[in-house]
Amino acid sequence: MAYAENTTVSSEKSRAEIERTLSRYGASSFMYGWNQTYAQIAFDMNGRRIHFKLAMPDKSGSEITQTPTGKPRSAGAAEQAYEQAVRQRWRALSLVIKAKLEAVEAGITEFEEEFLAHIVLPNGGTVGQFMLPQVEQSYATGQMPPLLPGPHY
């Protein structure tokens, strides 16, 4: 069962909640945008730009066009399933951001550690986009990539 699977909170309210949360924790800027395949938010905080890309459900995917038992949904029911899936994703993103900020506020972790994968680099990509292929290669070959330092003892 996914978090907020049956939420009635609109996507707009969740996005506004994220914006308010970021402002409360000290963000100096916020942006939001969307297209058919993803929504995105970005914000500046603690001298870093952070970017989250939120994948939207595929309107033609079976989770939208079919019931859990595999029966086809009507066009109206498919639209409702799509909107529910979108609302669920926005609620989950709101939870993730709040949890990360609260963990930093409570001293459990550092801001950069908590948001590391989403920090925007000078080339416009994120640390996660840069590092994940290197991590994959490191596991596949058993070798450390040159830009990923080994542990220091």
pLDDT over threshold 90, residue 113: yes
Q: For residue 148, is it within any domain? A: no
133 and 117 Cβ atoms separated by less than 8 Å: no
Chain segment 119-136, per-residue pLDDT in tens: 999 999 999 999 999 899
Domain count, the chain: 1
Q: For residue 143, is it within any domain? A: no
Chain segment 73-107, per-residue pLDDT in tens: 999 999 999 999 999 999 999 999 999 999 999 99
Chain segment 14-29, per-residue pLDDT in tens: 999 999 999 999 999 9
pTM of structure: 0.89
Q: For residue 71, is it within any domain? A: yes
Task: Tell me the residue ranges of DSSP E strands in 37-88.
Answer: 38-45, 48-55
Please name the residue that has the structure tokens 């994120």. 126
Query: For position 2, what pLDDT does the model report?
Result: 85
Distances (CA, A) of 39 to 31, 32, 100, 145, 152: 11, 7, 20, 32, 39
Q: For residue 130, is it within any domain? A: no
25-29: long-range contacts at Cβ-Cβ below 8 A with a sequence spacing of 24 or more? 25/101, 25/105
Query: For position 73, what pLDDT does the model report?
Result: 96
Query: For position 144, what pLDDT does the model report?
Result: 82
Domain span at residue 19 reads 11-121
Average pLDDT value over all residues in the chain: 93
Q: How far apart are CA 104 and CA 106, in angstroms?
A: 5
Chain segment 134-153, per-residue pLDDT in tens: 899 989 999 887 764 556 55
Q: For residue 137, is it within any domain? A: no
